[in-house]
């Protein structure tokens, strides 16, 4: 419809322009032709007029005049020979205004002597008639042209309709009804098999085919995806490990049944997706978990942590291992596994290990523990800054004899607490055996400081010890030795031991010190 209009409108406009142009041109040329015709008319009758004038033949002149009057534009004819009027004819039917009349006059010469003037002929031409005739002719040709344009437009419109609009409409209708997945194709209109519409339909068919292919592929993919998803869902639901997804604030988005089971959550504590946070589920670890989530997201790395669960539901402490993996800028995926069994084993192993290095009576290190501690200190630094205090109790044998082993053990535990009080964190405190104690003051090379600590210990030990029924008193002798370059733990122990004996010999209850040699002297001594 639009195409037809697009053809019709310009054709009509152009037609009108052409028609008016033709109308004007035709009218003008018609006027000129009329003028020429009159001139030609005169030329035709000239020879006869010459004879008529030459002979003053009124009859012949009359004939000429009537002949000329047959032209409708001629309003009148006058033929004269000298003073004689040979013929005068007027057309009474032409009543046009005088101003439209033009007189064309010609001199007539003798037919036998072109210099002898024998008469004249004058024609009155009515221009109104010429005008009217030209206008009517122009109207006729304009009409003919308009008719032709109209016919052409109709033919073109019909052609467009039959060869273009109708097949396109048919194809369009078919396209509306077609279902792509059935493998259906458009029919090429029989008459358009080899033109642009035919090509278009083939192209559309190719498009439909590829679309159908794409649809099939997508359906298969979707099915495969669904199967995969179901598989994953099954794995998720049935997994032994607790699986969950978190956002950057720790809010839980999803989890599997194992997660609930592993966290030992009762039916009243069940989380709510999008509301409950991991921190809320594990209040004792809330701060640590918040820290872990931030760390995980900021570094983009996976982290895992062992957490102890203390809940009313579990009489024994349970342990879980939680691993967090960042899966996006604001999302984390977590895995929870029960490691209670492993933790219990670890703890008992640790207990065993500590039994081997610990003095069961005082809880201090035993000889083995002391050796291991010193070895560790000497393995880090070849010449660690270290003051070794060898402490030996005075009068303990007496207390032990008087109060029995029970009393002796109590005294030993008391002494151990005194030593623990005066030592600093990181120092080694040991009871290698009997009433013999060792403190390794790590990081102390200053003899004054070591001596001060030793004196404080002696003073505290000398205070009476309340054993319930009785109060007892013991003393202590302390030998101090410092680690030196190239030293072994054993060498320092021997030096401290001999310093302690020096203190004993010097009268007990005092400190004896093997001074650390100046670096130069140390070099000379080595």
Partner 1 sequence: MTSVMSSSKWTRIVLQILLALTTLPPARAVTAQTLVVIVNPAIGVQHLSRREVLDIFLGRYRTFPSGASALPIDLDVNSPERTLFYVLLAHKEPTDMGSYWARLTFSGKISPPFAVPDARMAIDIVANNPNAIAYVDRSAVDQRVRIALEITP
Q: Is 55 in the site for partner 1 (CB under 8 A)?
A: yes
Based on CB atoms, which residue is closest to partner 1, 67 or 146? Answer: 67
* Helix, strand, coil percent content, the chain, rounded in steps of 5: 55, 20, 25
Tell the smallest beta-carbon distance from residue 132 to partner 1 (Å): 33
Under rule CB under 8 A, which residues in 97-126 are in contact with partner 1? 111-113
Based on CB atoms, which residue is closest to partner 1, 45 or 393? Answer: 45
**Listed residue (39, 34, 46) closest to 126, CA to CA:** 34
Contact 483, 490 (CB under 8 A): no
Tell the smallest beta-carbon distance from residue 114 to partner 1 (Å): 9
Based on CB atoms, which residue is closest to partner 1, 49 or 461? Answer: 49
Question: Nearest 5°: CA angle at 211, between 207 and 216?
Answer: 150
Based on CB atoms, which residue is closest to partner 1, 112 or 180? Answer: 112
Q: Which of 19, 60, 386, 483 binds partner 1 (CB under 8 A)?
A: 60
Q: Which of 46, 63, 436, 497 binds partner 1 (CB under 8 A)?
A: 63
Q: Which of 26, 51, 204, 483 binds partner 1 (CB under 8 A)?
A: 51
User: Which residue matches tokens 């310093």?
Assistant: 499
Based on CB atoms, which residue is closest to partner 1, 48 or 91? Answer: 48
Interface with partner 1 by CB under 8 A: which range of 19-27, 58-66, 213-221, 479-487?
A: 58-66
Cite the DSSP H helix spans in 127-270: 127-160, 166-177, 196-238, 257-262
Based on CB atoms, which residue is closest to partner 1, 44 or 216? Answer: 44
CA dihedral 158→164→169→170, nearest 10 degrees, is: 100
Based on CB atoms, which residue is closest to partner 1, 42 or 60? Answer: 60
**Listed residue (394, 388, 447) closest to 423, CA to CA:** 388
CA distances from 135 to 20, 22, 28, 34 (A): 12, 11, 9, 12
Interface with partner 1 by CB under 8 A: which range of 25-33, 55-63, 395-403, 471-479?
A: 55-63
User: Which residue matches tokens 């010999």?
Assistant: 505
What string marks each residue from 271 to 310 as x (binds partner 1 by CB under 8 A) or -? ----------------------------------------
Interface with partner 1 by CB under 8 A: which range of 57-65, 252-260, 282-290, 518-526?
A: 57-65
Tell the smallest beta-carbon distance from residue 41 to partner 1 (Å): 17
The helix/strand/coil state of 271 is: coil
509: left (phi over 0), alpha (psi -120 to 50) or beta: left
Tell the smallest beta-carbon distance from residue 117 to partner 1 (Å): 14
Q: If binding means CB under 8 A, how many residues of this protein chain bind partner 1? A: 12
The DSSP-derived string for 211-246 is HHHHHHHHHHHHHHHHHHHHHHHHHHHH-SSEEEEE
If one counts every other C-beta atom within 10 angstroms of the C-beta of residue 480, the result is: 28
Based on CB atoms, which residue is closest to partner 1, 54 or 255? Answer: 54
Task: Assign 3-class secondary structure to 403-440.
Answer: HHHHHHHHHHHHHHHHHHHHCCCCCEEEEEECCEEEEE
Q: Which of 28, 59, 421, 449 binds partner 1 (CB under 8 A)?
A: 59
List CB contacts of 314: < 8 A, sequence separation 6 or more. 264
Dig out the tokens for 170 from the structure: 């048919």
Q: Which of 54, 109, 244, 259 binds partner 1 (CB under 8 A)?
A: 54
Tell the smallest beta-carbon distance from residue 93 to partner 1 (Å): 25
User: Which residue matches tokens 């209670």?
Assistant: 340
Interface with partner 1 by CB under 8 A: which range of 8-16, 54-62, 135-143, 167-175?
A: 54-62
Based on CB atoms, which residue is closest to partner 1, 118 or 387? Answer: 118
Tell the smallest beta-carbon distance from residue 57 to partner 1 (Å): 5
Based on CB atoms, which residue is closest to partner 1, 112 or 162? Answer: 112
Tell the smallest beta-carbon distance from residue 55 to partner 1 (Å): 6
Under rule CB under 8 A, which residues in 453-482 are in contact with partner 1? none
If one counts every other C-beta atom within 10 angstroms of the C-beta of residue 390, the result is: 27
Based on CB atoms, which residue is closest to partner 1, 81 or 492? Answer: 81
If one counts every other C-beta atom within 10 angstroms of the C-beta of residue 49, the result is: 28
Site of interaction with partner 1 (CB under 8 A): 48, 51, 54-57, 59-60, 63, 111-113
């Amino acid at each position: 419809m639009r195409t037809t209009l697009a053809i019709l409108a310009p054709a009509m406009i152009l037609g009108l322009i052409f028609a008016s142009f033709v109308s004007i041109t035709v009218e003008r040329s018609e006027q000129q032709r009329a003028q020429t015709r009159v001139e030609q008319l005169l030329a035709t009758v000239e020879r006869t007029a010459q004879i008529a004038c030459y002979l003053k033949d009124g009859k012949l002149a009359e004939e000429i005049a009537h002949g000329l009057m047959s032209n409708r534009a001629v309003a009148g004819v006058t033929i004269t020979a000298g003073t004689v009027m040979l013929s005068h004819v007027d057309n009474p039917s032409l009543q046009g205004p005088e101003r439209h009349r033009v007189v064309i006059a010609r001199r007539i010469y003798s037919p036998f002597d072109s210099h002898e003037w024998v008469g004249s002929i004058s024609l009155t031409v009515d221009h109104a008639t010429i005008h009217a005739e030209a206008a009517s002719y122009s109207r006729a040709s304009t009409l003919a042209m308009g008719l032709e344009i109209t016919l052409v437009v109709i033919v073109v419109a019909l052609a467009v309709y039959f060869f273009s609009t109708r097949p396109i409409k048919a194809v369009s209708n078919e396209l509306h009804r077609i279902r792509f997945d059935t493998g259906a194709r458009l029919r090429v209109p029989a008459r358009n098999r080899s033109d642009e519409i035919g090509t278009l339909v083939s192209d559309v068919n190719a498009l439909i085919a590829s679309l159908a292919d794409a649809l099939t592929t997508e359906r298969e993919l979707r099915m495969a995806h669904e199967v995969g998803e179901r598989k994953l869902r099954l794995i998720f639901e049935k997994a032994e490990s607790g699986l969950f997804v978190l956002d950057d604030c720790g809010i839980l988005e999803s989890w599997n049944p194992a997660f609930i089971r592993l966290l030992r959550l009762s039916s009243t504590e069940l989380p709510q997706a999008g509301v409950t946070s991991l921190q809320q589920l594990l209040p004792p670890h809330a701060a640590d978990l918040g820290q872990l989530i931030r760390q995980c997201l900021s570094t983009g790395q996976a982290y895992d942590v062992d957490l102890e669960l203390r809940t009313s539901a579990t009489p024994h402490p349970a342990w879980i291992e939680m691993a967090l993996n960042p899966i996006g800028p604001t999302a984390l995926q977590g895995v929870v596994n029960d490691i209670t069994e492993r933790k219990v084993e670890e703890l008992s192993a640790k207990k065993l290990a500590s039994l081997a290095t610990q003095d069961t009576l005082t809880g201090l290190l035993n000889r083995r523990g002391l050796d291991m501690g010193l070895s560790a200190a000497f393995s880090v630094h070849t010449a660690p800054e270290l003051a070794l205090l060898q402490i030996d109790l005075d009068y303990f044998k007496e207390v032990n004899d008087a109060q029995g082993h029970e009393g002796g053990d109590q005294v030993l535990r008391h002494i151990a607490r005194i030593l623990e009080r005066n030592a600093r964190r990181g120092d080694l405190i040991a009871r290698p055996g009997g009433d013999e104690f060792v403190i390794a003051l790590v990081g102390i090379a200053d003899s004054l400081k070591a001596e001060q600590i030793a004196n404080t210990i002696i003073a505290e030990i000398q205070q009476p010890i309340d054993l319930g029924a009785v109060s007892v008193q013991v003393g202590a002798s302390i030998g101090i030795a410092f680690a030196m370059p190239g030293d072994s733990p054993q060498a320092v122990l021997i030096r401290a031991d001999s310093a302690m004996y020096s203190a004993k010999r010097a009268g007990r209850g005092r400190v004896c010190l093997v001074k650390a040699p100046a670096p130069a002297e140390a070099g000379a001594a080595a």
